[in-house]
């Protein structure tokens, strides 16, 4: 796994190529079931599109994200958003729930994440999240690995993503400790509205950033060539092999 993630989050690029991320967050929001008056932390809020739905349910929300541009975009939506690394949360016993969508898989130190989430919750509070699960974007990772290997680069050393199985993550949650009410792997083929090359630009900077600038477009095209037969349907639509891990866990004491 990568030592240091290079990923830079541009709110503009995210809105253009990744708007499906918050749009597909309805199921995990249902699992959160926010109530009026609850105090909720949104961990990895991105540009705040999904956070606004929690606010609309009547909850008071504090949102954090490690990307300053994303936090600025969330603030522009009127959200109380702060720049904070999810591995270094500073809250103590103040939330009824911690919510996270499509953010945890960017955090390598899961022990610190879970410790910080647990501390942030009041006893009885819930941690509800969705992240990439085991086999998420497996075809994309294989194609990235093959194209980088042609250039003498080891994609697995550059990989910033953590996509655990339900069993592995249940163990981590229980060790934190949380009481796991529900945890499941859910395959979710995901249409990429702007295609695979734009997706790679938005999400795979840690891999493509290791290729020389002069060669980067060529490498990106080679990855698309490898993936076309498996991820493009007969209408020319790119559909990525997303697999979600969704869970609801309780801080018992
Ligand atoms: C995801 O949200 O599943 C995802 C994010 C980054 C890279 C791959 C997948």
> What pLDDT score was predicted for residue 112?
98
Residues with CB under 6 A from ligand 1: 102, 132, 136-137, 161, 203, 242
User: Which ligand 1 atom is the nearest neighbour of the CA of 102?
Assistant: 2
Distance from the Cα of residue 201 to its chain's centroid: 16
Inform me whether the pLDDT recorded for 10 exceeds 80. no
Where is pLDDT greater, at 156 or 18? 156
Q: Which of 58, 138, 59, 100 is nearest to 249 (CA)?
A: 100
The three-class DSSP label of residue 247 is strand
Q: List all residues 6 or more positions away from 214 whose beta carbon is below 8 Å from its beta carbon.
A: none
Inform me whether the pLDDT recorded for 236 exceeds 60. yes
Where does the pLDDT of residue 21 fall: very low under 50, low under 70, confident under 90, or very high at 90 and above?
Answer: low
> What pLDDT score was predicted for residue 18?
67
The answer to whether 97 and 78 are in contact (CB under 8 A) is no
Euclidean distance between CA atoms 219 and 227, whole angstroms: 13
Rounded to an integer, the average pLDDT of 180-199 is 97
The three-class DSSP label of residue 65 is strand
CA distances, 36 to each of 54, 107, 120 (Å)? 9, 30, 19
> What pLDDT score was predicted for residue 24?
74
Inform me whether the pLDDT recorded for 2 exceeds 60. no
In this structure, the residue with its CA closest to atom 4 of ligand 1 is 132
Could you report the per-residue pLDDT of 66-119, keeping only the tens digit for each? Answer: 999 999 999 999 999 999 999 999 999 999 999 999 999 999 999 999 999 999
Beta-strand relationship, 243-250 and 121-132: antiparallel
Where does the pLDDT of residue 13 fall: very low under 50, low under 70, confident under 90, or very high at 90 and above?
Answer: confident
Burial class, 170, CB count within 10 angstroms (exposed 0-12 / middle 13-18 / buried 19+): middle
Euclidean distance between CA atoms 176 and 196, whole angstroms: 37
Best substitution site from 2, 14, 50, 102 to test ligand 1's pocket, by max atoms within 8 Å of Cβ?
102
Q: Which of 68, 44, 60, 10 is nearest to 130 (CA)?
A: 44
In this structure, the residue with its CA closest to atom 1 of ligand 1 is 132
The three-class DSSP label of residue 165 is coil
Q: List all residues 6 or more positions away from 113 whose beta carbon is below 8 Å from its beta carbon.
A: 86, 87, 89, 104, 107
Inform me whether the pLDDT recorded for 212 exceeds 70. yes
Share of the chain above pLDDT 70, in %: 96
Least confident of 1-10, 11-20, 154-163, 210-219: 1-10
Euclidean distance between CA atoms 29 and 40, whole angstroms: 12
> What pLDDT score was predicted for residue 11?
78
> What pLDDT score was predicted for residue 3?
45
User: Which ligand 1 atom is the nearest neighbour of the CA of 204?
Assistant: 7
Determine the distance separating the centroid of ligand 1 and the alpha carbon of 242, expressed in angstroms. Answer: 7
In this structure, the residue with its CA closest to atom 2 of ligand 1 is 102
Euclidean distance between CA atoms 149 and 145, whole angstroms: 6
Inform me whether the pLDDT recorded for 36 exceeds 90. yes
In this structure, the residue with its CA closest to atom 6 of ligand 1 is 203
> What pLDDT score was predicted for residue 8?
78
User: Which ligand 1 atom is the nearest neighbour of the CA of 244?
Assistant: 3
Could you report the per-residue pLDDT of 147-169, keeping only the tens digit for each? Answer: 999 999 999 999 999 999 999 99
Give the CB-side neighbour count of residue 150, counting CA atoms within 13 A. Answer: 14
């Amino acid at each position: 796994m990568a030592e240091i993630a290079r990923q830079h989050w541009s709110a503009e690029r995210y809105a253009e190529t990744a708007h499906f991320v918050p749009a597909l967050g309805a199921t995990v929001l249902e699992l959160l079931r926010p109530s009026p008056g609850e105090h909720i932390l949104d961990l990895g809020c991105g540009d705040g599109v999904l956070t606004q739905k929690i606010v609309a349910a009547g909850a008071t929300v504090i949102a954090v994200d490690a990307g300053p541009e994303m936090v600025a975009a969330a603030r522009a939506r009127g959200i109380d958003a702060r720049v904070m690394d999810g591995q270094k949360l500073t809250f103590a016993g103040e939330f009824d729930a911690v919510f996270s969508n499509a953010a945890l898989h960017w955090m390598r130190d899961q022990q610190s994440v879970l410790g910080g989430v647990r501390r942030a919750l009041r006893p009885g509070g819930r941690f509800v999240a969705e992240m990439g699960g085991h086999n998420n974007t497996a075809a994309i990772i294989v194609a990235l690995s093959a194209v980088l290997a042609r250039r003498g680069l080891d994609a697995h050393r550059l990989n910033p993503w953590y996509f655990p199985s339900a069993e592995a993550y249940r163990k981590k949650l229980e060790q934190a400790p949380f009481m796991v009410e529900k945890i499941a792997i859910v395959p979710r083929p995901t249409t990429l509205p702007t295609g695979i090359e734009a997706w790679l630009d938005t999400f795979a900077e840690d891999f493509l950033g290791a290729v020389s600038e002069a060669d980067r477009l060529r490498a990106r095209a080679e990855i698309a060539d490898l993936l076309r037969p498996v991820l493009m349907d007969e209408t020319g639509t790119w559909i990525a092999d997303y697999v979600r891990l969704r869970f609801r866990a309780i801080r018992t004491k």
